[in-house]
Structure 1
Amino acid sequence: MTRLTPYLTVHDAAGAIDWYAAAFGAREVGERYVEDGVVGFAELRIGDDALYLSDEAHEYGAYAPRTLGHSTAALALTVDDVDRTYATALQAGATADRPPTDQGDERRGWLVDPFGHRWALASPVR
């Protein structure tokens, strides 16, 4: 586990797990905790970094961006090729926010995943 691990709430955890795998190469590790068909916990790895997620659970204060109408945070992900990853994510169903551009020593682009979470994708300018 890293010192800081994002724990996302989504409206369709099973679908999100599949989407993060297709768009960002995430892999699920460990066993999902599911109760009454609701995913309470799943752990993904993108590279060496952990990402936790769950379905909504209003009784625990866990609301998805779809319910709130917006995301309350953004995630920054460093990738080998921001243009390729950005295109892959769009093809998988993400919404473009800002296309990749060179910004100093990084190339960075912003998108929103199908679950309402904002992502800043970046790679070093070579």
Structure 2
Amino acid sequence: MPVTLSLFTLYRDPAAAVRWLVEAFGFEVVARFGAEDGSVAHAELRLGDAVVMVQAADGHAPAPLVGTSTSRAPVLTLDDDAAVDELFARVERAGATVLIPPETTEWGNHRFEVLDPEGHQWSVGTHRPGAAW
């Protein structure tokens, strides 16, 4: 049975979130619905096989930060340590708040963790969830 998992994320300013996700991570906008004033009612962004859907928060807030985690974060998996480090440099230049700078964990995941401008946590690393160890 084929299954596709997409992330649905709510933002107070979805148009700004779309711009930031494109700049910081290199997402490509594949669908955008809104008004002529540039507002975004719904947008879909793709990076490789990852898809993020962005909509207006309508009063919802991101999960609170406790230590270095909001308790939920999309996980982007890259092929190697160099790709992780390159993406970290890009998201840091775009103004992400760094929670965990690039590191290699004891289980071999080269990763970093950041918050986007609205406080949503993003995890990037080389570990591919669901793959055999």
1:74-123 deviations in whole A, cap 9, x for unaligned?
A: 11111341111111111101001011111233201111111211111113
Question: Residue 116 of structure 1: which of 116, 119, 126 is its match?
Answer: 119
**In 2, distance between residues paired with 1:36 and 1:86?**
32
Structure with more of its chain in helix, by fraction: 1
Matched positions, count:
118
* Alpha-carbon offset, residue 36 of structure 1: 8.6
Q: Which runs of 5+ in 2 are unaligned?
A: 128-133
What secondary structure, in the 3-state scheme, does the structure 2 residue paired with 1:39 have?
Answer: coil
- With the length of structure 2 as denominator, give the TM-score of the two structures: 0.75
Structure with more of its chain in strand, by fraction: 1
CA-based RMSD of the aligned residues comes to 2.5
**In 2, distance between residues paired with 1:36 and 1:57?**
18
Percent identity between matched residues is 34
**In 2, distance between residues paired with 1:24 and 1:36?**
25
Change in 2 beyond 3 A, CA 1:102/1:69: closer
Q: Which runs of 5+ in 1 are unaligned?
A: none
* Alpha-carbon offset, residue 35 of structure 1: 9.3
**In 2, distance between residues paired with 1:42 and 1:17?**
8
**In 2, distance between residues paired with 1:5 and 1:100?**
25
